[in-house]
Amino acid sequence: MLLNIFAKLSGVKVNRMDKLAINQNIKWCFRKVKALGVWFSIRKEEAVMLNYQEKKKKVSKILSCWQRR
């Protein structure tokens, strides 16, 4: 397996579970989810708009701070 080869060569082991814990009360999101600051969605258009709007707001805030100077 590729991950085992990677672990042997690099000395870094990937944290992963071999089996999904079925008895745990896990709530799965079926529409959209945010991971590492990026929105993922089952609809491509929705993901693009969510990510675009969020970045646009951040840039607008930065620019408004610089306009005062």
Decide if 18 is inside a domain. Answer: no
Higher pLDDT, residue 57 or 19 = 57
Decide if 4 is inside a domain. Answer: no
| Predicted local confidence at residue 34, as pLDDT | 84
Decide if 10 is inside a domain. Answer: no
Decide if 54 is inside a domain. Answer: yes
Number of domains in the chain: 1
Decide if 40 is inside a domain. Answer: yes
Distance between CA atoms of 51 and 39, rounded to whole angstroms? 6
60 pLDDT band (50/70/90 cuts)? Answer: very high
Distance between CA atoms of 32 and 51, rounded to whole angstroms? 12
Q: Is the pLDDT at 59 greater than 70, yes or no?
A: yes
Q: What percent of the chain has pLDDT over 90?
A: 6
- pTM confidence score: 0.42
**Other CB atoms within 10 Å distance of the CB of residue 50:** 16
Decide if 20 is inside a domain. Answer: no
24 pLDDT band (50/70/90 cuts)? Answer: low
